[in-house]
Structure 1
Amino acid sequence: MGPHSDRPTTNYRGPILDRRQREETTTDQRLLDSRGASDWLHTDPWRVLRIQSEFVEGFGALAEMPSAVTVFGSARTPVDSDEYELGRRVGGELAKAGYAVITGGGPGAMEAANRGASEAGGFSVGLGIELPFEQGLNDWVDLGVNFRYFFVRKTMFVKYSQAFVCLPGGFGTLDELFEALTLVQTRKVTRFPIILLGTAYWSGLLDWIRGTLVESGKVSATDVDLLQCTDSVEDVLAAISASRREDADSARVEGDPS
């Protein structure tokens, strides 16, 4: 037994590591939960300052980062799985192509992408989140920021990424996927590639979108084109490169005085 074997499990409070007594609720939960005493009326205005500080910390940490691609995926992906190896490979190839690799900073597929980027000599970034259970940033993160609020963290993903790559994942991955898809569809952000990596995993979702959402008129057929699905890491790089060329061509056309 080590000298600290009697310590409580590590707890993260935003950017703060705290090995004392763990709180049973998260900052997001305390912000959004209006049940109970009315003292939230007095504390919510002060929470605005904490939210502001998270934006300032995130912008300050990431402002000078090179062009980046965010890789999403399950925290439950086993290290010895094909999906982990795929994440490791995509992280490495993105790094070799000159992109920083951003993940949620956790284990599983996120660790795989960070690991691949780090092993390839690239810039490996993890944007963590306060959770009621242990997670923390994986050991392959070069630059890590822990957030209290999901919506602040999501802003950082979108603001600093030129593309999103989604490895097989669960609710968290789906949340980020559809958030990005909605922002692009509604033109709240400039269009960027959203790539699903793993056709066997994602084909059922795409079939449902086409067969249910499109057929019932809930989305248009062109909306489906905002998603790309492949098994090839090379296709991922090609899609991102093509998008960057289109952006550069558009910028040249807009800047042409003639």
Structure 2
Amino acid sequence: MTEAPDPQDDPPPPRREPLPWSVPKDVADDPAALERVRAIMAHPAYLQADRDLDFLASDPARGTRLQLDYLKPELGLREAGIGHTIVVFGSTRIAEPAAAARRLAAAEAALAADPDDPELALHVRQARRRLENARYYDVARRFGAMFADQTDWPRPERVAVMTGGGPGIMEAANRGAFEAGARSVGLNITLPHEQYPNPYLSEGLCFSFHYFALRKLHFMHRARALVIFPGGYGTLDELFEALTLVQTRKIDPLPIVLVGRAFWRAAVNFDFLLEEGVIDAEDRELFSEAETAEEIYAAIADWYEDAGCPLLGPCRPGGPAVEGG
């Protein structure tokens, strides 16, 4: 018995006699019929649902869009055999040292032309700090390369560096993996202004999200460690969400490494939160600190050794490996 043809295959041969609905009503029977049929078919209601962009963008279709925002990256990561990720967050404004130096020179030139402008003076101060912080670009790049050296595992256990896919620290981590010959993942978010993914992401492993919530889900879904460099609102958002998920045991604990002790101790006074009684002592221990790529790597390795867990495969610290949800 032969299998019925797939509707997606080549179209079947034409009929010798056309079916009644394959041609519009004859104008000999109703001269206005053809124009009315054209008007009916031109109306958005006649569009097939999956081709009607206005419908897909409508409020009632939000549930479907949420499903699609989850499903497309999930299928792409599965197809690529990406079983686990090391997620790197950090500022988009921390550029590589040469670029930071050029931007400082431009800011100083602008201030020299108008030395009394307080906004230009602020730009110079910021550019100087960004040049000093450009060392973190090199650290993230080094870490991406170091970790890529350890990611030659078979499907579906392969581990990849994952970032938000943008510039700055994200670019640096993806670049390190790229230069080491490893694949890496980027999760871009659609924003009102034009943006571009960084050029060091693997083709086929850069995904664009509409919803921040689904993007966050994919950051955490395969994460085996979070490495968080200095950054602004977006970086702080990701940090505190991860800490909250671990604190409340919505997810199993995992290593969270804050890179740049001086920055993080100035940006967030965790000891103050502890003394105020709004977090507990064990919450203060949910993360570690590092300065160099080697320290980051060691912090992750030490965490898994202390927890008695393998880097590959889900587990609960202090207990046997368990199946993830």
CA displacement at 1:67 relative to structure 2? 2.8
RCO higher in structure (CA 8 A, sep ≥6): 1
Identity, % of aligned pairs?
42
Residue 210 in 1 paired to residue 225 in 2? no
TM-aligned CA distance change 1:253 to 1:154, over 3 Å:
closer
Residue 222 (structure 2) aligns with: 160
Query: Which one-letter code corresponds to 2:297 in the other structure?
Result: L
Residues 131-160 of structure 1, C-alpha deviations (whole Å, 9 max, x = no match): 122322111000100101000000000001
User: Contact 2:139–2:292 (CA<8 Å) still a contact in 1?
Assistant: no
State the 4+ residue runs in structure 1 displaced beyond 6 angstroms.
none
Alpha-carbon distance between aligned partners in 1 of 2:240 and 2:316, rounded to the nearest angstrom: 26
Query: What SS does structure 2 have at the residue aligned with 1:93?
Result: helix
2:90 to 56, 73, 92: 73
Residue 238 (structure 2) aligns with: 176
Residues 205-242 of structure 1, C-alpha deviations (whole Å, 9 max, x = no match): 45x1112x111110011101001111132222122223
Largest Rg, 1 or 2? 2
2:304 to 232, 238, 244: 244
Alpha-carbon distance between aligned partners in 1 of 2:248 and 2:288, rounded to the nearest angstrom: 18
Residues 88-134 of structure 1, C-alpha deviations (whole Å, 9 max, x = no match): 11111111122410000001111011000110112211000011223
When normalised by structure 2's length, the TM-score is: 0.62
CA displacement at 1:252 relative to structure 2? 9.9
Alpha-carbon distance between aligned partners in 2 of 1:242 and 1:57, rounded to the nearest angstrom: 34
TM-aligned CA distance change 1:95 to 1:148, over 3 Å:
same
Moved more, 148-157 or 120-129: 120-129
TM-aligned CA distance change 1:50 to 1:220, over 3 Å:
same
Residue 255 (structure 2) aligns with: 193
CA displacement at 1:174 relative to structure 2? 0.5
Alpha-carbon distance between aligned partners in 2 of 1:239 and 1:230, rounded to the nearest angstrom: 8
1:85 to 125, 138, 148: 138
Count of aligned pairs between the two proteins: 212
Query: Which one-letter code corresponds to 2:191 in the other structure?
Result: L
User: Contact 1:107–1:135 (CA<8 Å) still a contact in 2?
Assistant: no
Query: Which one-letter code corresponds to 2:193 in the other structure?
Result: F
Query: Which one-letter code corresponds to 1:244 in the other structure?
Result: Y
Alpha-carbon distance between aligned partners in 2 of 1:219 and 1:182, rounded to the nearest angstrom: 11
User: Contact 1:62–1:160 (CA<8 Å) still a contact in 2?
Assistant: no
Moved more, 217-226 or 197-206: 197-206
2:198 to 133, 138, 151: 138
TM-aligned CA distance change 1:252 to 1:204, over 3 Å:
closer
Residue 3 (structure 1) aligns with: none
CA displacement at 1:182 relative to structure 2? 0.5
TM-aligned CA distance change 1:82 to 1:254, over 3 Å:
closer
Residue 127 (structure 1) aligns with: 187
CA displacement at 1:179 relative to structure 2? 0.6
Query: What SS does structure 1 have at the residue aligned with 2:309?
Result: helix
TM-aligned CA distance change 1:162 to 1:168, over 3 Å:
same
Query: What SS does structure 1 have at the residue aligned with 2:162?
Result: strand
TM-aligned CA distance change 1:46 to 1:201, over 3 Å:
same
Residue 63 (structure 2) aligns with: 48
Alpha-carbon distance between aligned partners in 1 of 2:148 and 2:92, rounded to the nearest angstrom: 21
When normalised by structure 1's length, the TM-score is: 0.77
TM-aligned CA distance change 1:119 to 1:168, over 3 Å:
same
Alpha-carbon distance between aligned partners in 2 of 1:139 and 1:92, rounded to the nearest angstrom: 16
CA displacement at 1:243 relative to structure 2? 3.4
Residue 175 (structure 2) aligns with: 115
Moved more, 174-183 or 129-138: 129-138
Moved more, 224-233 or 154-163: 224-233
Query: What SS does structure 1 have at the residue aligned with 2:76?
Result: helix
Structure 2's unaligned 5+ residue stretches are: 1-56, 98-133, 152-158
User: Contact 2:140–2:293 (CA<8 Å) still a contact in 1?
Assistant: no
CA displacement at 1:169 relative to structure 2? 0.7
